[in-house]
Amino acid sequence: MNQEVFAALAEALDQGETVALVTIVSARGSTPQRVGAKMLVYADGRTVGTIGGGCYENDAFGKAREALKTRRSQLVRYELNDDFAEESGLICGGQMEVHIDPIEPSPRLYVIGAGHVGYHLARMAHEVGFAVHVVDDREKFASRERFPDAAEVIVEDIPAWLARTAIPETAYVVIVTRGHRHDLDALRSLAPRELRYVGLIGSRAKIARVYDALVAEGTPAGELQRVHAPIGLDIGAVSPAEIAVSILAQLIAVRYGRIDEPAVAALSLRWSNLKAT
């Protein structure tokens, strides 16, 4: 049975799916499954394998789906007493511990803009396990020579590429283009999408202007509240490499659940008033 679970896990990761692996790690007394029994839980409710059935498996299933949302592991203890056994239809009276571990494929990072910051970010992000996709309309910058480790290097008009490309909800997207207009075009396409992370580089004044322009076009203010801007953690970064470090630190923090909501301190008074209406 576990062989089937491992095969399904490998296939899910190959397809870019996040799944939760449920494993019995401790069992004492009479339990329906032995230590090591596993069940794989998908976000859509599918399962592969079993940890014994009954109410406790259903409870573990629910906790596994929650772990897919929070991206946090947990250890759950079950006392399989007489009442529990009667309710579940199982004849058992032991104790069991189940470990629930959400497992993600290598997260995709889309670097929109292949300039100096994008260059350093792509290189460092690859080193910590991101599958990096670089997008720019300048062949001189978006090349295999500059990004040898990238999963994909796209040389194309950025708005056109974004318009026809489906980006997974689990993806991270960093907007670090060479100018205000290109940032505006990219965010116009990305703001409505449900993504793990969207970040926009720039000063507070520039970001406020971009936001104001998009709201004037009809972009709902709530969509822009999901954007991390100014991008990166405030570490006093100045050089392109330092800025890339600050961005990568924020990506890692989001990946491991250390940051849930974007900071909104960058917004101008005008934008703050727009948010309140």
CATH number of 177's domain = 3.40.50.720
Predicted pLDDT at 268:
46
| Dist. CA 202–CA 183, nearest whole Å | 9
The Cα–Cα gap between 64 and 74 comes to: 9
Report how many domains make up the chain: 2
Measured CA to CA, the distance from residue 69 to residue 260 in angstroms comes to 11
Residue 30 and residue 117 share a domain: no
Quote the pLDDT of residue 266: 42
The answer on 175 and 42 residing in a single domain is: no
From the number of C-beta atoms within 10 Å of its C-beta (0-12, 13-18, 19+), residue 132 rates as: buried
Q: Decide: residue 57, CB within 10 A, 0-12 exposed, 13-18 middle, 19+ buried.
A: buried
188 and 82 fall within a common domain? no
Bond from prior residue into 230 cis (ω within 30 degrees of 0)? yes
Q: Are residues 138 and 262 in the same domain?
A: yes
* Percent of the chain residues topping a pLDDT of 90: 69
pTM score, two decimals?
0.76
Same domain for 139 and 81: no
Q: How large is the average pLDDT for residues 200-222?
A: 93
Q: Mark which of 103, 129, 146 sits at the end of a domain.
A: 103
* Residues 96-140: tens digit of each pLDDT: 899 999 998 889 999 999 999 999 999 999 999 999 999 999 999
Tokens of 257: 């659940």
Structure tokens at 242: 């330092």
Residues 120 and 253 in one domain: yes
Q: Provide the token pair at 198.
A: 């969207």
Domain around 120: 108-276
So what's the pLDDT on residue 106? 86
> Lowest mean pLDDT: which of 53-62, 189-198, 202-211?
53-62
Scanning the chain, the segments in alpha helix (DSSP H) are 2-14, 54-70, 82-88, 116-127, 158-164, 180-190, 204-217, 221-224, 240-255, 269-276
Question: DSSP character for 228?
Answer: B
Give CA–CA dist 24/225, Å, rounded.
41
Is the domain of 118 the same as that of 194?
yes
Helix (H, G, I), strand (E, B) or coil at 91: coil
Helix axes 204-217, 180-190, angle to 10 degrees: 50
- The reply to whether 121 and 176 lie within a common domain is yes
Same domain for 121 and 237, yes or no, is yes
Both 80 and 163 in one domain: the answer is no
Is residue 136 domain-shared with residue 15, that is, in the same domain? no
Do 10 and 116 share a domain, yes or no? no
